[in-house]
């Protein structure tokens, strides 16, 4: 068989069937990449873990610099990335900001990965 006849035979046999599930669209892929990128940093993973396992009424930013041994501006940057990605909620109380895990955030991320 020639290469052309092989390709024609493969096309007619349906060798590359598409799945029944629709592939990830461009907008959803952009959102998903932003979410996964937020998790792709060890300091942000640690922050997420600390906040998730912290007090139910929120973890103060002042309590997050010590465990990570990072300065407040760096910790605040990482927290902003996690808030923007939808993992954390931020509440201002006086001069301090308190962070809580956004309900459903981890489940949403797991669903994103399962949906691939």
What are the domain boundaries of the chain?
A: 25-114
**Kind of pairing between the strands at 96-101 and 59-60:** antiparallel
SS3 state at 16: coil
**How many angstroms separate the CA atoms of 25 and 4, rounded?**
32
The pLDDT score that the predictor gives to residue 115 is 83
The pLDDT score that the predictor gives to residue 8 is 53
Where do the DSSP E strands lie in 34-111? 59-60, 88-93, 96-101
CATH architecture of 25-114: Orthogonal Bundle (1.10)
Position of tokens 């301090």? 96
SS3 state at 98: strand
pTM > 0.85: yes or no? no
Whether 24 has a pLDDT exceeding 80, the answer reads no
Query: pLDDT per residue over 36-80, tens digit each?
Result: 999 999 999 999 999 999 999 999 998 999 999 999 999 999 999
The single-letter DSSP state of residue 103 is: T
Whether 9 has a pLDDT exceeding 70, the answer reads no
Q: Are 102 and 86 in contact (CB under 8 A)?
A: yes
Position of tokens 């923007």? 84
- The percent of residues in the chain predicted with pLDDT above 70, rounded, is 82
Whether 103 has a pLDDT exceeding 70, the answer reads yes
The pLDDT score that the predictor gives to residue 23 is 78
Q: pLDDT: is 31 or 100 the higher one?
A: 100
Q: Are 87 and 38 in contact (CB under 8 A)?
A: yes
């Amino acid at each position: 068989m020639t290469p052309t006849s092989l390709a024609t035979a493969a096309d007619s046999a349906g060798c590359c069937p598409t799945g029944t599930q629709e592939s990830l669209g461009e907008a959803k892929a952009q959102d998903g990449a932003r979410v996964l990128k937020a998790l792709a940093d060890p300091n942000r993973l640690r922050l997420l873990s600390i906040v998730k396992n912290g007090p139910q009424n929120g973890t103060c930013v002042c309590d997050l610099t010590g465990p990570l041994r990072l300065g407040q501006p760096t910790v605040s940057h990482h927290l902003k990335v996690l808030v923007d990605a939808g993992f954390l909620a931020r509440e201002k109380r006086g001069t301090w900001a308190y962070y809580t895990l956004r309900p459903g955030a981890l489940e949403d991320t797991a669903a994103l990965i399962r949906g691939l």
